Amino acid sequence: MNLAFVTVFLLFVSLPGYALRRSYFASRFSINQFSTNILNEIVWSFIPALFIHAIAIIILEKYSNKLVNLEYVGYLVTGGNNIDYINIIFENIHSNIFAILSYNLGLTVIASVVGNLSRRTVRWLNLDIFTRILSFPNKWHYIFTGEYLNKDKGWNYNKKHVDFIVVDILMNVGGEAILYSGKFEDYYLSKTDNGLDRIIIKYPSKKKFSIEGDNDFQDIPSDFLTIPYNNILNLNISYFEINDNDNGEIEDVETPLNIPPNINFNDLVAMGS
């Protein structure tokens, strides 16, 4: 059987698994979303799709008069070449085309809902923070929200104690080392290994970097400053809390987190402790 047809067939069967993965790794929780390599798409979507189809077939055959002929499916997947048998299979598909499309569409919608609910549940219970296997690929999210602090300091610590974040960014500008500083505002992801494209800071200031620290910061007359990650030599992050008192004092929540380029995120918690 034509390899292109088998590929399309596998993609069709894999749709529920693809929908599950896309809905679970939605928003900023995936760095690259999914690879554009069609083989990787099929493999990573086909595996969860198998479990989804298995459960659906068991339920379908138990509570309806429908019978799924897995022998036909197996013959198509393995690329059988018996023309007569293939004609029988396609006649069966033609007779049940509406039921087949409804079945796969229904599973795809259900898988999307399950993926979305699973992500919300994991996030609500902080399971991705306390269980490494459930953590999302976008490790920058945990850094720029202070959620990585929760692992050592307790449940939702960052929401109670981190009011704002200040970043000090060392960059190479025209052969000179320039230190930029400001309140962290937002970030954007890319498809690089580190997953970060640029950082946006508010109330920016800068100075020439000096080991002695004898240079003063100069305010940059702008509301926001966008800094491309590729030009960053070093990134220092400080988490601050505003005390709830008459003075409104500001305190460091944690020892500043110093992040060199190409960080190994498995060592993130150790660096911050």
Burial class (CB in 10 A: 0-12, 13-18, 19+), 269: middle
The residue ranking higher by pLDDT, 106 or 260, is 106
Give me the pLDDT at residue 270, please. 41
pLDDT higher than threshold 50 for residue 7: yes
Confidence of residue 111 (pLDDT cuts 50, 70, 90): very high
| pLDDT tens per residue, range 27-80 | 776 655 544 556 676 778 888 999 999 999 888 888 887 777 778 777 777 777
CB neighbours of residue 50 within 10 Å: 14
- Residue 32, classed as helix, strand or coil, is coil
Domain ranges, ordered by start, for the chain: 3-124, 139-272
Which of 138, 150, 182 lies closest to 164 in space, CA to CA? 182
* Distance in angstroms (rounded) separating the CA atoms of residues 228 and 225: 10
- Residue 198, classed as helix, strand or coil, is strand
Domain 139-272 carries which CATH code?
2.30.30.100
Give the pTM. Answer: 0.71
Six-digit token string for 25: 């790794």
As a whole number, mean pLDDT of residues 146-173 equals: 86
| pLDDT tens per residue, range 235-245 | 999 898 877 66
- Alpha helices (H) along 25-82: 38-63, 70-77
